[in-house]
Structure 1
Amino acid sequence: MAEIKSEQVLLPRKVYVADTAELRCSFNSDSANLKSLSEKGAFEISFENFAGELDGNDYDIKQVQVVPSGIDFYKLVITFVPWKTGTIKFPPIQIEDLYIDFAPIQIVSITEQANNATLSGFAAPLLLPGTTYKLYGMLIFSLLSFLLIIRLVIKRKSIAFFIKNRKLLRKYKKNKRKTARLLRSIKNKKIGSSEIAAQIQKIMRQYLEIRFDYQFTRAASSEFEEGFCKATGGLLPDEKNIAFGKILSSFVRTDFIRYSKNAVFNDGEVAKIVKELIKNIDIIETAADKNNKKAEESKNA
């Protein structure tokens, strides 16, 4: 029996008690049995395949599926509902001649996420016998102080937001420059087509993960479109969506080169793919700048 190392992802990232969640474990295997079982797509796994007792007090498992996600690539999906906070761990599971172990997962308490900050009241003004004007003066002073504090808080949040936004923009620019430099360097490497295709995919996966804060480095190529929609909410302009679609098409070509026997790039094809990828990265980055500029102009009009 072979023990499989998998990449484990919890969806959503923060799971609360009584929420329905999914534990997704991506793995690679050339098992003939798995290929046979997944010929028609996803298939369910019996709970009896767990190599240990399931703790019904800590969680309730609803479904266990194996989903094919590429050539010799699969995804084990455990749908469950947790009943306690803290760490829970599923027992290992056996699928045909394979053995998969799971890392512990963390369940969050709603009360831990609550905002406990409260505003304390102001002390009542001191009354001085025979000095009514001092009472009014203290009331006015207290009111002005309160307004000043509110103004400072609002200003501080605006400055903090501005700094955070500038840091994020610098991060995006650095990511863009690094990606373009790595892509251009591929054209000069004396390696096989399969290795070139793998390096192109690795570079673009890292770029997309940083740019959209989604785990593209762990997702299969077939999951990219779904991940892009989740990361952006489907609210991006058409030029960005088109550019991402062209980037996605490069994964289709490089997947073919990687996994097809004796497949190679055509003459000049690598340079063309690199050029198109850099072009579409520029569209993704510059589209945001144009939209921000238009929003500022309409706001100031």
Structure 2
Amino acid sequence: MTDLNGMAIFAKVVEAKGYSQASRLTGLPKSTISRKISQLEETLGVRLLQRNTRGLSLTHVGALYYQHCANIVQEMEEALATIENTHQDITGMLRIALPVSFHQDAIATLCSGFLRKYPKVDLDIQFIDAEVSLIGEGYDIAIKYGPLDASDLIARLLVERQPVLVASVKYLKAHGAPATPQDLANHQGLLLGTPRSSAIWPIGVGAEKTMVQFERKVRVNSNTVLKQMTKAGVGIAMLTESVCHEELQSGELRRVLADYPLEPIKVYGVYSSRRQLANKITSFLDFFCQHFATHESLQPLMRSVR
């Protein structure tokens, strides 16, 4: 009889693109994984993986066999999720990947509140700029900004956040305020992004939206740093209303090009269809939606943390 555990390990090796990553994800030694794959190949009488100096690649029969293994693993995970949902308590490890630019103080507060509500859950939270492979890297949830590429993953819209262009009073006194989006080309812009991000802001909504270039003075992947540099008068930045609400209220920051609308930024929770029945995933996303729609809704949580 074929070893179902061996099939699951084979699927994990394929998805992780190698023994080392599969070992990290499963907690099994590489020697155990290698032995399981060899035993599976011996039982089947075929070669599933080609091993060379560049790594592993699937043979033709291995690629066909993997599809069946992946389906079986999915059925096993869905069966496990069904059992998990029969428990009153929500337990287990939940691995979450977020973009580095996400507001980290708010996430810390949110996750602290989630753990108080579900104390039997353990969290592994990673802020990552690179594209995340949920299955291959073992994450349960990835929080992502839209728009999203087409995939077989499930994407749940969590929240929409309204962006605003802002600058400090100090900057506006020194450089003046742009009157049109095209004037941004003559102003110092602070970009929230990664090395792959271009100095372009989308101005307008729908068919009226245009991509406007600006003079990039700073590029940083931290909302906190971006806001502090904007307050210091370094340049104009695109922040969300929730991030700079207090500064706008106090007048420390002022809106720029307020007559030009900006499309909302959409935030999604993405997870594998294999895990769509997992109670801990839906519980976290429900909690996220409930308490992270705006920063104001986090205030009760923040008071309880202190």
TM-score interval, normalised by the smaller of the two chains: under 0.3
- With the length of structure 1 as denominator, give the TM-score of the two structures: 0.24
Q: Which is strand-richer, 1 or 2?
A: 2
Greater length-normalized contact order (CA 8 Å, ≥ 6 residues apart): 2
Give the structure-2-normalised TM-score: 0.23
**Higher-Rg member (1/2):** 1
